[in-house]
Amino acid sequence: MKLSVIIPCYNEEEVIHTSYQRFTDVMRTNSYDYELVMINDGSRDNTLNILTELAHKDKNVKVISFSRNFGHQNAVTAGLHNCTGDVAVIIDADLQDPPEVIPQMIETYVQEGSNVVYAVRNQRKGESLFKLLTAKMYYRTLNYLSDFSFPVDTGDFRLIDRQVINTFKKFPEKHKYLRGLFTWMGFKQTPFYYDRDERAAGKTKYSFGKMIKLASVGIFGFSKKPLKLAISLGSISMIFALGLVIWILYLQLFAVDKVVPGWSSTIITILFLGGIQLFTIGILGEYIGNIFDETKNRPEYIIQEKLNFDTDTPKKEK
Ligand code: UDP
Ligand code: MG
């Protein structure tokens, strides 16, 4: 059996040597073949140099280097498209997901005969309260919005077998929410519980903006409910307007002397309806933007360089 470890790296110069060492130590204690597929996602620091150096001294290190930063999900996608193992493990470079549990995941995979072993976080050390809270709320909202039930407290850390990798390779969509897609695919899936560590070094590479982007790819990729929100909001505002009409009629008929000049009710209605309209146009925009991106049919990532892949040997032109 051959194992591919998919490790996306973005500005990880501080942690990569340690990570390489820990991954290699774990791999060497086991008898199976392995490759460490390390994807340089357009890092602006020394990451690529370090990866190149590692690739030169260790043939098990395979490097894919992007022409710019395409984001974590695309880095993992490139790793899966190019890996050669019978099973693959997707894991972060920062050692938050301890590589030492990989053999246990493989054991679960063999014993249960499952296609996917997804890692569920018992505990998350060293994360801000804000991240913990928003993550919790997000996973629950996503589950409510989509017609589909996703396991909560699960990231991309998981083991998948060749059948799942090959199925994944046929997915043409550009905005990939990987943890959602793997659940959506079905097959036999088994949870695996573990404690999430702190980052070994460096700071998070998931800025607030990137977090929001990933969250919206998840929601707008797996749910049509936001589109229907327009109808609910419209109905609520209609009921509100109707109430207002009845109230005004009442005043006109029975309390003419108390009739207000009308400025406040007008302005409230305009603001209220205007808000709802902008909100729902925004939702439409998200979906249309997605359709736009899909129809452009551009590649999800551009590889500038590959190291230690067999396809490296240049083919002769005819
Ligand atoms: N990452 C990436 N491209 C990006 C952002 C992050 O490849 O644009 C990688 C990063 O190097 C790490 C993994 O994705 O291996 C998870 O990122 P990070 O640990 O910074 O996120 P957090 O754990 O804080 O959510
Ligand atoms: Mg991390």
Strand order in the sheet with 2-9: 189-196, 116-124, 154-161, 87-90, 2-9, 33-40, 61-66, 303-307
Q: pLDDT digit string (tens) for 43-90?
A: 999 999 999 999 999 999 999 999 999 999 999 999 999 999 999 999
Asked if pLDDT for residue 318 goes beyond 50, the answer is no
Using pLDDT thresholds of 50, 70 and 90, give the confidence band for residue 190: very high
Asked if pLDDT for residue 126 goes beyond 80, the answer is no
Token readout for 96 is 């938050």
Q: Does the beta carbon of 121 lie inside 6 Å of ligand 1?
A: no
Q: Does the beta carbon of 119 lie inside 6 Å of ligand 1?
A: no
Q: How far apart are CA 209 and CA 84, in angstroms?
A: 33
CB contact at 8 A, 294 and 173: yes
Using pLDDT thresholds of 50, 70 and 90, give the confidence band for residue 259: low
What is the pLDDT, as a whole number, of residue 68? 95
Sequence letter at residue 54: L
Ligand 2 center–CA 199 separation, angstroms: 6
ipTM for the predicted complex: 0.94
Q: pLDDT digit string (tens) for 230-253?
A: 778 877 887 887 887 788 788 778
What residue owns the CA closest to ligand 1's atom 13?
92
Residues in the chain: 318
Q: Does the beta carbon of 10 lie inside 6 Å of ligand 1?
A: yes
Residue of 121, 205, 211 to test ligand 1 pocket, by largest number of atoms within 8 Å of CB: 205
Q: Does the beta carbon of 157 lie inside 6 Å of ligand 1?
A: no
Ligand 2 center–CA 73 separation, angstroms: 14
Q: Does the beta carbon of 93 lie inside 6 Å of ligand 1?
A: yes
Considering the chain, what is the average pLDDT of its residues? 86
Using pLDDT thresholds of 50, 70 and 90, give the confidence band for residue 258: low
What is the pLDDT, as a whole number, of residue 99? 92
What is the pLDDT, as a whole number, of residue 110? 92
Q: Mean per-residue pLDDT for 14-29?
A: 92
What is the pLDDT, as a whole number, of residue 260? 64
For the entire predicted model, the pTM comes to 0.78
Q: Coil, strand or helix: which one is 123?
A: strand
| Residues above pLDDT 70, as percent of the chain | 95
What is the pLDDT, as a whole number, of residue 315? 46
What is the pLDDT, as a whole number, of residue 146? 85
